[in-house]
């Protein structure tokens, strides 16, 4: 895919990520964002705590997501831990999941 992924490509990737996350999201997941970096898709997972079971869930999500793709998929992914303020997501990126958070 080119750097300028079209709407059809974005919609496919969002759908495949959502399908990959079904049943895997726990209350520890704060946000999941899909973006592009050159020719690679980038998935950022924001988790509150560094829990082994949730890191394993992320690995399973990535495995399922990759299985939905052709062999040309270029993918980067990262897990960010913490309970601070979530970043503002650039307009070009897609927030695929975000939990409700209330701060007093």
Q: Is residue 29 part of a domain?
A: yes
Q: Is residue 1 part of a domain?
A: no
CATH code at position 53: 3.30.70
Q: Is residue 53 part of a domain?
A: yes
- In 3D space, the residue among 92, 101, 103 whose CA is nearest the CA of residue 33 turns out to be 92
Q: Is residue 103 part of a domain?
A: no
SS3 68: coil
Answer whether residue 4 shows pLDDT above 90: no
Q: What is the pLDDT of residues 38-62, one digit of tens each?
A: 889 999 999 999 999 999 999 999 9
Share of the chain above pLDDT 90, in %: 86
Show the domain range for 80. 7-98
Residue 103 has what pLDDT?
74
Residue 104 has what pLDDT?
66
Q: Is residue 91 part of a domain?
A: yes
**How many structural domains compose the chain?**
1
Q: What is the pLDDT of residues 60-93, one digit of tens each?
A: 999 999 999 988 899 999 999 999 999 999 999 9
Stated pTM of the model: 0.91
């Amino acid at each position: 895919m080119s750097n300028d992924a079209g709407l059809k490509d974005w919609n496919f990737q969002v759908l495949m990520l959502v399908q990959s996350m079904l049943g895997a999201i726990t209350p520890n997941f704060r946000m999941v964002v899909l973006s592009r970096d050159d020719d690679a898709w980038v998935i950022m997972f924001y988790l509150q705590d560094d829990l082994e079971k949730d890191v394993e869930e992320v690995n399973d999500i990535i495995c399922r997501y990759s299985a939905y793709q052709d062999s040309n998929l270029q993918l980067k992914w990262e897990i960010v831990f913490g309970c601070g303020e979530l970043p503002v997501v650039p307009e070009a990126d897609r927030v695929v999941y975000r939990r409700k958070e209330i701060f007093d």
